[in-house]
Structure 1
Amino acid sequence: MPDLSTPAADTESIVIANWAHPPHAQAVVQLLDAYAQDTMGGGAPLPGFVKDNLVAELRKRPQALAILAFVGSEPAGLAICIEGFSSFACMPLLNVHDMVVAPRFRGRGLSQKILAKAEECARERQCCKLTLEVLEGNAVAQRAYRAFGFAGYELDPAMGKAMFWQKKLA
Structure 2
Amino acid sequence: MTIEVIQADYQNEQHTTDLLFLLNDYAMDVMGGGEPLSEYTQHHLIENLKQQSNVFTVLAYVDGKPAGIANCVVGFSTFAAKPLVNFHDVSVVKAFRRQGITHLLFNKVEQIAKDMGCCKLTLEVLQGNEVAKAAYEKEGFAGYELDPKMGQAVFWQKKL
Letter aligned with residue 91 of structure 2: V
Larger radius of gyration: 1
Match of 2:55 in 1: 64
Alignment coverage as a number of residue pairs? 160
Matches of 1:72 and 1:19 in 2, distance apart?
A: 21
User: Quick check: 1:27 aligned with 2:21?
Assistant: no
Q: Which residue of 1 aligns with 2:74?
A: 83
* 1:48 CA displacement: 0.9
Is 1:167 matched up with 2:158? yes
For 1:69-148, what aligned pairs fall within 5 Å after superposition? 69-148=60-139
Task: Indicate the SS of the match to 2:95.
Answer: helix
Task: Give the CA RMSD over aligned residues.
Answer: 0.5
Q: Which amino acid aligns with 1:64?
A: V
> Percent of pairs identical after alignment?
46
Query: Counterparts of 1:17 and 1:11 in 2: how far apart (Å)?
Result: 18
Q: Distance in 2 between the 1:61 and 1:28 partners?
A: 16
Query: In 2, Cα distance between the equivalents of 1:63 and 1:124?
Result: 14
C-alpha separation in 1, matches of 2:86 and 2:19: 17
Normalized against structure 2, the TM-score is what? 0.99
- Give the 3-state SS of the residue equivalent to 2:84 in structure 1: strand
Q: Unpaired runs of 5+ in structure 1?
A: 1-9
Q: Where has structure 1 moved over 2 Å in runs of 4 or more?
A: none
Q: Could you say what secondary structure the match of 2:108 adopts? A: helix
Give unpaired runs (5+ residues) of structure 2. none
Matches within 5 A, 1:29-68: 29-68=20-59
Q: Deviations over 1:48-78 (max 9, x none)?
A: 1101111111111111000000011110000
Q: Which amino acid aligns with 2:78?
A: S
- C-alpha separation between the residues in 2 aligned to 1:69 and 1:42? 22
**SS of match in other structure, 1:153:** coil
Write the deviation string for residues 100-141 of structure 1: whole angstroms up to 9, x where unpaired: 000000000100000000100100110000000000011000
